[in-house]
Amino acid sequence: MMPMNDAALLTPGDYADAVTAAVRAAAAYYTDGATPLGDDEYDALLRTIAAYEEAHPDEALPDSPTGKVAGGAVEGDVPHSVPMLSLDNVFSAEELTDWAAGLERRLGRPVAAWCVEPKLDGLAVAARYRAGRLHQLITRGDGLAGEDISHAADTVLGLPAALAEPVDVELRGEVLLTREQFEHANEVRTAHGAVPFANPRNGAAGTLRAKDRPYRVELTFFAYAAVGLESAAGRDTAVGADTAVGLDGDLAHSALLERLAALGANTAAATAAHPRRCATLEEAQQRIEEIAALRSDLPFGIDGVVVKADAAADQRDAGSGSRAPRWAVARKLAAEHKVTRLLDVEWNVGRTGIIAPRAVLEPVVIDGVTVTYATLHNPADITRRGLMLGDRVFVYRAGDVIPRVEAPLVDERTGDERPIAFPESCPRCGDAIDTTEQRWRCARGRNCQAVASVVYAAGRDQLDIEGLGGTRAVQLVESGLVTDVADLFSLTREQLLGLERMGDTSTDNLLAAIETARSRPLNRVFCALGVRGTGRTMSRRIAAHFGSMAAIRAADAETLAAVDGIGAEKARVIVAELADLAPLLDRLAARGVGTAVTAPQARVTADAGAGEGPEAEAEAAPVAGGPLAGEAVVVTGSMTGPLTALSRNEMNELVERAGGKASSSVSKRTTLLVAGEKAGSKRAKAEELGIRIVTPDEFAVLVADHLPQG
């Protein structure tokens, strides 16, 4: 945060510039949503302005955004019966504690209870219902009057045309694009030749005001308050409900939200971040942390967590200022969208020959992490987004998600931007590029990246060939001895001894490691192939489902789609990949790799599973009646005790050996979470869903009979 004395050092000219910049940003933010500033920068600018005005109260400019709803940037012509206020912000747990102490001082008593809820990142609207029927939708405007946007009502989900009862009530809440709606909106827009929305909030703002679009974009409403339509007199805030909703004015906020849901309005109640009544501020702080941890898993964007005094009496006695209520505050979270400059685009060739564009950015800090690179998906996506080098762009990063470039700020262009050049030949080997799919690929496919493919195949969770790292793989490939993973299994002692730095010991060790790898179970061999769309988890499922490489190879898309987590599209890709890999698979089979057969979980064709070869390690197929039978298990955090050395894949294999089903994300179907140290959002989510949580040590006891030997 900008400290006071820094702001006090501003010259009057700097201050005036800051006011101009903030007014301009607020106008863009609250109208078309295309702000030239990120949310964090806007908040910081406002704090600087406020600090300067506190130090120089006589110099405050009349158009300063401080103390005004929507920064004073917007107006409307439909008066609000009760002002639609904004919220004050705090940026840390300490600031929240101070704020709560201030509120309790003002009340002269402790706050009875708090309600903690997500701060939805959209636009505030008021929906007026008469006799239970929706008759007008209004924006917040300047807080006193808004704009009539009733034309948009039927594109907003969560705002029923009729409520469950014939009440007169004004629902207040946020209209936003869920992540799914945002993706869909951009597909529809680009299909119509329009520029994609830079971020969901921007899209919601643009969509609410748009008229006569040739396409439809759906939004979602979440209610977080209500006011009576007739009985507003004497009330200064949108607090509680009143007789208009058939309840008395003493309804606590959390109870009001339940009532609104019962009337048929959409609230955040059904989401993991649902509002929660907390008896103490400590509990409220904990709930804030929980909601923050859930952030990247929520179906919509949030920019903070709102803490409200829950009791109607506390709200009434605290009252409101001209801009914000005194009984509620927003604990802001770091923005997930930031604006920076696109400096360059790099084209990298992946393990499977995919040529992927990567954005080089002017470094920007997003939620505490400096982001310099971001994904650009594929060439078609670049074209769709209309990106150019030198553009100012919105970059998105949330949780563990790989940062991505969302869209250019077209209005900010200077004319110096340059088109992005697409490669005409493979940037790695110079061969032709196959551009028939959305994702471009070197015509040599995975042979373009033999070293990377071999290193991946030899990795710990695949064939686990000790001593075969990057340097050795480069040596083997460059010497011409190895072109793919199958070649490893026909290497001779003489060939290896002929290489530089390969003495007797290293040669024997490597040969022994390769020999051990020859009998790895099917899931490991399948994973080693690096089939697009399949990682470790999917490889285990496929292996357990089919039982043999022959059965996998015989499967068509429809059969593959019977495996949990494989949809029609992925099934199609896997079939194509396996066809592509047929010569390699033949050579692996000839060398006795991946030929083990186990009883498949599914019935497969009679000739499938007729592999021959040496005895292989037992497949990690679920064991009926094992200690985890019927359990859906997720492992998170770092393992300790007897499990310390196990990789995540080995943990998942262990789960399956013990009869359970391993999965990587927590959902309603999860029954057990193994939470090691530094377990983050998965733990929060499991707690939220009431899922049983055990430590690695407790888990080790549970599955003691199935632990790996040695």
Instruction: Give whichever of 275 and 622 is closer to ligand IVH, judged by the CB atom.
Output: 275
Determine which residue in the list 39, 40, 117, 391 makes contact with ligand IVH, applying CB under 6 A.
117
> Measured between alpha carbons, how far is 48 from 182 in angstroms, rounded to an integer?
33
Cβ closest to ligand IVH, residue 323 vs residue 446: 323
For the residues of 616-628, what is the DSSP string, one character each?
-PPP-PPPTTSTT
Q: Outline where 379-449 has alpha helix (H).
A: 379-385
3-state secondary structure of 697: helix
CB of 316 to ligand IVH, least distance (A): 13
* Geometric angle at alpha carbon 344, from 342 and 345, rounded to 5°: 110
Q: How far is it, in rounded angstroms, from Cα 555 to Cα 553?
A: 5
Cross-strand bridge partners of residue 139: 125
Among the residue ranges 118-126, 227-235, 337-345, 632-640, the one whose residues contact ligand IVH (CB under 6 A)? 118-126
Least separation in angstroms between residue 75's CB and ligand IVH is 16
CA dihedral (350, 365, 271, 181) in degrees, to 10, reads -60
Partnered with residue 89 across adjacent β-strands are 330
# residues contacting ligand IVH (CB under 6 A): 16
325 part of the interface to ligand IVH, by CB under 6 A: yes
**Closer to ligand IVH by Cβ: residue 324 or 510:** 324
CA distance 393 to 531: 33
- CB–CB of 548/609 below 8 Å? yes
Continuous segment of H or E residues that includes residue 520: none
Site for ligand IVH contains 543 (CB under 6 A): no
Binding ligand IVH (rule: CB under 6 A), the pick from 156, 177, 225, 578 is 225
The residue whose Cβ lies closest to ligand IVH is 124
Q: Give the one residue of 139, 178, 186, 237 binding ligand IVH; rule: CB under 6 A.
A: 237
Task: Quote the least distance from Cβ 257 to ligand IVH, whole Å.
Answer: 9
Q: Which stretch binds ligand IVH (CB under 6 A): 1-9, 323-331, 657-665, 692-700?
A: 323-331
Name which position in 91, 197, 224, 440 contacts ligand IVH (CB under 6 A): 224
CA-nearest of 128, 33, 121, 120 to 80 is 128
Kindly indicate which of the ranges 85-93, 344-352, 389-397, 538-546 contains the residues binding ligand IVH, using the contact rule CB under 6 A.
85-93
User: Out of 68, 119, 308, 332, which one is annotated catalytic?
Assistant: 119
Nearest C-alpha neighbor of 82 from the set 153, 163, 170: 170
The footprint of ligand IVH on residues 299-318 (CB under 6 A) is: 306
- Tell which positions 124-163 bind ligand IVH, by CB under 6 A: 124
Is residue 182 within 8 A of residue 203, CB to CB? The reply is yes
Q: Which is nearer to ligand IVH, 87 or 113 (CB)?
A: 87
**Residue 119 falls in the annotated catalytic set:** yes
* One-letter-per-residue 3-state SS of 526-570: HHHCCCCCCCHHHHHHHHHHHCCHHHHHHCCHHHHCCCCCCCHHH
Beta carbon nearer to ligand IVH, 90 or 225: 225
Tokens of 58: 């006589």
Task: Pick the piece of the chain touching ligand IVH (CB under 6 A) from 117-125, 357-365, 373-381, 530-538.
Answer: 117-125
Query: Which stretch in 79-87, 292-300, 344-352, 532-540 sits in contact with ligand IVH by CB under 6 A?
Result: 79-87
Enumerate the active-site residues.
119
Residues lying near ligand IVH in the complex (CB under 6 A): 85-87, 117, 119-120, 124, 174, 224-225, 237-238, 306, 325, 328, 330
